[in-house]
Amino acid sequence: MSLSGACPGTLIPQLTTGVASGPLVLLGGLLGGILYSRFGKPLLGQVQNRNLMEKPTVFKSLNVKQEHATVVYEVICLAMLGSLTHYFPDKIDLLAPSIVGGLLIGFSQVASLVLTSGALGISSAYEQLGDLFWWVEGSVLEGRKAPRPSIKATAFAAGTALGSWGLLGFLRLPAPTSDLEISAARAIVGGVLLTFGSRLAGGCTSGHGISGMSQLSISSIITVVAMFGGGVALTPIIQ
């Protein structure tokens, strides 16, 4: 994310709003999906202790009721929100307050659960495109017969792109005024690591940060801490 200036989800509106680095990050992301499909999945298969692949929650591990743990989590979120709002207030030229934007992102989780029976997440779309690449390669070049991989997450990502484009055009929402100055090599390499890393972690900022943390998943909390910790550590090196 520090290299590419995007996550798997935010890359989509970057493409529809014309951010210059978007297509190159997408190219890297697709390459990362192809590489993960062939080389990343076997890494997960080598884990001997299958319990490590499970996703325990905070309330189950502490043996407390889910509603009690959720209340504590919400209080922590509200305290953080109040502190951030006080010390880092919004700029005056925003279309909507950042709190409203965050709530809309959260409500999109509800829409995803109701309409698709699945949690919000984008990074799996890149994995599916990687699966599809190797499926085509095996079918066309080697003549193997295998069922086509699922494209459910890919269809969801395509819907995200259509929604972003529709909001930008039909509602005349303003495009981002700032551009990202990222070299071609950095954008592509960042895109590869973005996809490969998020799939190896089992999710990205939407899959873990929104879906997983809302379910109080321990693995999601650890992953989100690692995401931002890595970004904070890498930024001064890049600069």
Each residue of 61-101: pLDDT tens digit? 999 999 999 999 999 999 999 999 999 998 877 778 889 98
pTM: 0.87
State the Cα–Cα distance between residues 166 and 49, nearest whole angstrom.
46
Could you tell me the pLDDT band of residue 116, with boundaries at 50, 70 and 90?
Answer: confident
pLDDT at residue 177 tops 60: no
Each residue of 13-31: pLDDT tens digit? 899 888 889 999 999 999 9
> What is the pLDDT, as a whole number, of residue 175?
67
Contacts 24+ apart (CB under 8 A), 116-119: 116/152, 116/156, 118/152, 119/207, 119/211, 119/212, 119/215
Tokens representing 100 are 């409203």
Q: Report residue 36: phi and psi, to 5°.
A: -65, -40
State the Cα–Cα distance between residues 34 and 207, nearest whole angstrom.
20
Angle between helices 184-200 and 22-35 (to 10 degrees): 40
